[in-house]
Amino acid sequence: MRKKAFLLAALLVVVGLCVLLWPVFTGYRLQADADEAAQAFLEERKPEQSYPELLATLQDYNQRIYAEKQSDLTSLEACEEPAVDLAAYDVGDEIIGVLEIPTMELTMPVYLGASDAHLAAGAAVLGNTSAPIGGDNTNCVIAGHRGWRGADYFRHIDRLQVGDTVTLMNLWETLTYTVADIQIIQPHEVEKIKIQQGRDMLTLVTCHPYASGGRQRYVVYCEKLPTMSQSR
């Protein structure tokens, strides 16, 4: 009888440990998969010979949504539609770039279209915002979970401060932005993530407060400053 009780207690301990450690294992696996995807993208990208037709299509897309004043950007939740179908251009794993944020100790793959699948695998460009290729009159809005099943993702976004650097490595070049402003907004305030005339911007968006279920949005506005040659 005592032996059975001991075995039952031991079994309950093992089950309890599995329940406690499962989120840790899941988070580790998700983070490892994201890291591997980002590394594979960086190793395989060849900016000097990459997808000229895709680049032209994305440039046209950015010009069009600016001219149309992003009329289809109805809410932060209605942004799953990608700018283009990357599979049609034979882009492997549908990754358009890699986001690197030293202050957050973060490197993440970036996908087009903020679908559930893309947000589970990394960061994602909101549909009807600028494609991540830079240029005047653009604002590429990149969303990420404030932690996802044990993986950090954008959990530590509040470490960012004005002046910090955010880098986006796309298929063609490396774009470096500087944090210009940080705001907390409501989910319906889409005007606050739209393109600002004459500026080249990258905006990070995630839920706020942490573990709140998305009551508000934490928004980090970054701007690509002109080089010395451009400012003369």
* Contact status, residue 195 vs residue 138, Cβ threshold 8 Å: yes
* Contact status, residue 12 vs residue 81, Cβ threshold 8 Å: no
CATH number at residue 208: 2.40.260.10
**Rounded percentage of the chain residues whose pLDDT exceeds 70:** 81
Question: Residue 79 belongs to what domain range?
Answer: 2-231
Residue-level pLDDT at 226: 67
Q: Strand runs (DSSP E) across 121-230, as ranges?
A: 123-125, 138-143, 165-170, 174-185, 200-208, 216-223
Among residues 102, 99, 100, 108, the alpha carbon closest in space to that of 31 is found at 108
CB atoms under 10 Å from CB of 231, counted, come to 7
How many structural domains are present in the chain?
1
The predicted model gives 162-190 an average pLDDT of 96
Residue-level pLDDT at 227: 54
Q: What is the pTM of this model?
A: 0.84
Give the largest CA-CA distance in the chain.
87
Residue-level pLDDT at 18: 38
* Contact status, residue 132 vs residue 97, Cβ threshold 8 Å: yes
Does the pLDDT value for residue 98 go beyond 70?
A: yes
Q: In whole angstroms, give the CA distance from residue 200 to residue 225.
A: 8
**Most confident range, picked from 44-48, 162-166, 214-218:** 162-166
Does the pLDDT value for residue 57 go beyond 70?
A: yes
Tokens of 11: 């079994």
Q: In whole angstroms, give the CA distance from residue 121 to residue 114.
A: 11
| Those residues with Cβ within 8 angstroms of residue 183's Cβ, 6 or more apart along the chain or in another chain | 192, 219, 221
How would you classify the pairing of strands 95-101 and 106-112?
antiparallel
Higher pLDDT, 166 or 45: 166
In the chain, which residue ranges form alpha helices assigned H by DSSP? 2-44, 52-67, 116-121, 228-231
